[in-house]
Amino acid sequence: MKDHFGREIDYLRVSVTDRCNLRCTYCMPEEGVPPLTHAQILRFSEILRICEAAADLGIHKVKVTGGEPLVRKGIVSLIHDLKQIPGIEQVTMTTNGILLGEMYEELAEAGLDAVTVSLDAVTPESYRRITRRDELGKVLASLETVKERGLIPCKINCVALPDTPDEELGAIAGFAREAPVHVRFIELMPLGHGSGIERLPEEACMKRLFPYTGLLVPFDGILGNGPARYYTAEGFRGKIGFISAISHAFCDSCNRLRLTSEGFLKSCLYYDTGVDLRPALEEGGKEALRAAVRAAVERKPLCHSFRKTENEEKRENTDRRDARQMSQIGG
Q: Please choose which of ligand SF4, ligand SAM, none residue 226 contacts, taking the beta carbon within 5 to 8 angstroms, the exact cut-off set by kind.
A: none
Distance CA 51, CA 59 (A): 8
Q: What's the burial of 291, exposed, middle or buried (CB within 10 Å: 0-12/13-18/19+)?
A: middle
Q: Which of 95, 131, 255, 260 binds ligand SAM (CB under 6 A)?
A: 95
From the CB of 171, what's the least distance to ligand SAM, in Å?
17
Shortest distance, CB of residue 55 to ligand SF4, whole angstroms? 26
Sign of the dihedral defined by the CA atoms of residues 184, 189, 192, 196, in that order: positive
Tell me if 24 contacts ligand SF4 by CB under 6 A.
yes
| Subset of 67-86 contacting ligand SAM (CB under 6 A) | 68
Separation between Cα atoms, residue 160 and residue 118, nearest integer Å: 11
Q: Which is nearer to ligand SAM, 95 or 273 (CB)?
A: 95
How far apart CA 75 and CA 69 sit, in angstroms, is 7
Binding positions for ligand SF4, 27-46, rule CB under 6 A: 27-28
User: Are the C-beta atoms of residues 322 and 254 closer than 8 Å to each other?
Assistant: no
Q: In the set 26, 104, 185, 271, which binds ligand SAM (CB under 6 A)?
A: 26
Q: Which residues of 235-265 are buried (b: 16+ CB within 10 A; e: fewer)?
A: ebebbbbbbbbeeeebbeebbbbbbbbbbbb
**Which of ligand SAM, ligand SF4, none does residue 29 bind (CB under 5 to 8 Å by kind)?**
none
> Using CA atoms, how far apart are residues 30 and 119, in angstroms rounded to an integer?
19
Site residues (CB under 6 A) for ligand SF4, limited to 308-327: 327
Of 165, 170, 194, 224, which one interacts with ligand SAM (CB under 6 A)? 194
Of residues 95 through 154, those in contact with ligand SF4 by CB under 6 A are: 96, 118
CB of 291 to ligand SF4, least distance (A): 31
Q: Find the binder of ligand SAM among 7, 23, 41, 65 (CB under 6 A).
A: 65
CA contacts within 13 A on the Cβ side of 89: 7
Among ligand SF4, ligand SAM, none, partner that 18 touches (CB below 5 to 8 angstroms by kind): none
Establish if 188 lies at the interface with ligand SF4 (CB under 6 A): no
Out of 130, 191, 216, 269, which residue is the one contacting ligand SAM (CB under 6 A)? Answer: 191
Nearest to 329 by CA among 264, 256, 250: 264
Name the one range near ligand SF4 by CB under 6 A: 18-26, 40-48, 140-148, 293-301. Answer: 18-26
What is the C-alpha separation between 153 and 113, in angstroms, rounded?
A: 7
Phi, psi for 218 (deg, rounded to 5): -55, 135
Cα–Cα distances in Å, from 192 out to 17, 248, 259?
Answer: 17, 20, 17
Report DSSP letters for 150-162, one per residue.
--S-EEEEEEE-T
Question: Among ligand SAM, ligand SF4, none, what binds residue 23 when CB lies within 5 to 8 Å by partner kind?
Answer: ligand SF4
Got the DSSP string for 16-67?
Answer: --S--S---TTTS-TT-PPPPPTTTSPPHHHHHHHHHHHHHTT--EEEEESS
Does the protein bind ligand SF4 through residue 161 (CB under 6 A)? no
Q: Does 16 bind ligand SF4 (CB under 6 A)?
A: no
Contact between 187 and ligand SF4 per CB under 6 A: no
Q: Which is nearer to ligand SF4, 119 or 209 (CB)?
A: 119
- Sign, CA dihedral 319-201-195-224, equals positive
What's the number of CA atoms in the CB half-sphere (13 Å) around residue 104? 23
Contacting ligand SAM within 146-165 (CB under 6 A): 157, 159
Residues that bind ligand SF4 (CB under 6 A): 20, 22-24, 27-28, 66-68, 96, 118, 327
Residues that bind ligand SAM (CB under 6 A): 20, 26-27, 65-66, 68, 94-96, 118, 157, 159, 186, 188-189, 191, 194, 326-327, 330-331
